[in-house]
Amino acid sequence: MLDLKLLRNDPERVRRAIETKGESADLDALLALDERRRTILQDVERKKAERNRASEQIAGLKRSGEDASAQIASARRLGEEIKQLDEELRRVEADLDDGLLWIPNLPHETVPIGPDADSNVEIRRWGTIPPETFRPANHWEIGSELGLFDLERASRVSGSGFVFYTGLGALLQRALIQMMLDRHTREGDYQEISAPYLVRGESLEGTGQLPKLAEDMYRTGEDALYLIPTAEVPITNLFRGEILDAADLPRRYVGYTACFRREAGAAGRDTRGLVRVHQFDKVELVKFVRPETSYDELEALVGDAEAILQALEIPYRVLSLATGDLSFAAAKCYDLEAWAPAEQRWLEVSSCSNFEDFQARRIGVRYRDEEGKVRYVHTLNGSGLALPRVIAAMLELFQTERGGVRVPEALRPYLGGREELAAP
């Protein structure tokens, strides 16, 4: 959420952000509500002062035995007018709060300007795309042949977009999760946290998924809880409404969770394999930092995600997202994309974002600096990494002519020393 003072004092900057992010929020209507709110508050204060004066006059007239009926009628009229204004104020403030939820975060000045993903800027690449000595099978083909997962049976049980990981596939998934957690906690200075998979709606509002992405959420009926789309949501809400000490910052957390997304707007896209599924596993990185360090922390966050890809020997590229491809809540975001040779395309495996104080304002997470001033923290998060596309890239990159899949050396200790995934 943006500071309302920013909307008042620099509306054109906010208007540009709405336009370049491709949003449709009605800033003029919001500013009109803000103006009406301030007018009501002034009217209420004026009428309360008049009522106080009338009350004093009534008391004086009664003490002197004079008729106070006119003043009593005036005080009653003022009381009724104040009541009506208070009711209008509640309606206006509710509309104002709802409207603010639709105003996106402002892109950082270094974010490329452009309407969509075609305007993203490649920052760097790592690794060498291996020469094609034979035509690799698609990941869903080799995964099925090796008995790593079963998409057909999962579809019969839960519908399309779900996966049974079986045998070595289940072990591979668990091995990747453990490797990532170990590296982030032992080398990346992150504290591991195990988070709830169900959250309240206000938690999703706090991180910016609601109300904009309501159609992509799985919601329970009776309890009105939501299945998390990412561990970002519960972990970022960890200190909701709290004031932290400056000495406690930065705070860095890593958590593994399952993630759930309806992908309501993605019908017909990537329907085969692991690229777009409704339930998937992800290791998430979340930071609470001081504002002056947040962009250094963003670069470090990207480096922590890159380190996993490098350990897995997966060629990747880093993109700086353009305004039109930037999420609603992010001020700046880098995507990490792994190369999938069978599909001849890059697959997003991590997004690393700085939200500045946008989420902190919604959630109410602040800190007290050395001078005793209370300020909002900056929040960041990134995938470290999302598993389905990592697995897809590995199955396509490391296929052998024998029909197996080579295991990267860093992952072998987590797979009982296996050097290759082979057919059972």
Interatomic CA distance for residues 230 and 281, integer angstroms:
9
Is pLDDT above 60 for 139?
yes
- Alpha carbon of 228 to those of 60, 85, 279: distances in Å? 63, 40, 10
383 an active-site residue? no
Higher pLDDT, 57 or 356: 356
Tens-place pLDDT, residues 89-109: 999 999 999 999 999 999 999
Q: Residue 32 has what pLDDT?
A: 96
Q: Of 252, 362, 366, 389, which one is the catalytic site residue?
A: 389
Task: Please name which of 333, 320, 312 lies closest in space to residue 397, comparing C-alpha atoms.
Answer: 312
Tens-place pLDDT, residues 304-324: 999 999 999 999 999 999 999
Q: Of 36, 262, 276, 375, which one is the catalytic site residue?
A: 276
261 an active-site residue? yes
CATH architecture assignment, domain 117-421: 2-Layer Sandwich (3.30)
Task: Please name which of 84, 280, 276, 72 lies closest in space to residue 176, comparing C-alpha atoms.
Answer: 280
The per-residue pLDDT of the chain, averaged, comes to: 94
In which band, very low, low, confident or very high, does the pLDDT at 188 lie, cut at 50, 70 and 90?
confident
Q: Residue 61 has what pLDDT?
A: 87
Q: What is the mean pLDDT of residues 313-337?
A: 98
Is pLDDT above 70 for 168?
yes
Is pLDDT above 70 for 270?
no
Range list for CATH 3.30.930.10 in the chain: 117-421
**Angle formed by the axes of helices 27-63 and 11-20, nearest 10°:** 140
Per-residue tokens: 56 = 């004093």
Indicate the burial class of 48 (C-beta count within 10 angstroms; 0-12, 13-18, 19 or more).
middle
156 an active-site residue? no
Which residue type occupies 107?
Answer: P
Tens-place pLDDT, residues 212-251: 999 999 999 889 999 999 999 999 999 999 999 999 999 9
Least confident of 124-128, 186-190, 411-415: 186-190
Q: Residue 225 has what pLDDT?
A: 97
Q: Residue 264 has what pLDDT?
A: 65
Q: Residue 266 has what pLDDT?
A: 55
Is pLDDT above 70 for 53?
yes
Interatomic CA distance for residues 239 and 55, integer angstroms:
46
Range list for CATH 1.10.287.40 in the chain: 4-100
348 an active-site residue? yes
Tens-place pLDDT, residues 56-98: 898 988 888 888 888 889 888 999 999 999 999 999 999 999 9
Q: Of 51, 252, 261, 366, which one is the catalytic site residue?
A: 261
Q: Of 351, 356, 361, 366, which one is the catalytic site residue?
A: 351
Is pLDDT above 80 for 135?
yes
Per-residue tokens: 402 = 């024998």
Q: What is the mean pLDDT of residues 21-48?
A: 95
- Alpha carbon of 285 to those of 296, 303, 332: distances in Å? 15, 12, 16
Q: Of 348, 368, 406, 412, which one is the catalytic site residue?
A: 348
Is pLDDT above 60 for 149?
yes
> In 222-343, at which residue ranges do the beta strands (DSSP E only) sit?
225-227, 243-245, 251-260, 279-289, 316-320, 332-340
Interatomic CA distance for residues 254 and 177, integer angstroms:
11
Task: Provide DSSP, 168-210.
Answer: HHHHHHHHHHHHHHHHHHHTS-PEE----SEEEHHHHHHHT-T
| 4-100 CATH, one of 3.40.1180.10, 1.10.287.40, 3.40.50.10860, 1.20.140.10 | 1.10.287.40
Is pLDDT above 60 for 265?
no
pTM of the shown model: 0.92
Task: Provide DSSP, 134-152.
Answer: S-PPPHHHHHHHTTSEEHH
Q: Residue 199 has what pLDDT?
A: 98
Is pLDDT above 80 for 170?
yes
Backbone φ and ψ for 309, nearest 5 degrees, come out as -60, -40
Contact 277, 163 (CB under 8 A): yes
Q: Residue 114 has what pLDDT?
A: 97
Tens-place pLDDT, residues 2-22: 999 999 999 999 999 999 999
Least confident of 126-135, 137-146, 392-401: 126-135
Q: Residue 64 has what pLDDT?
A: 87
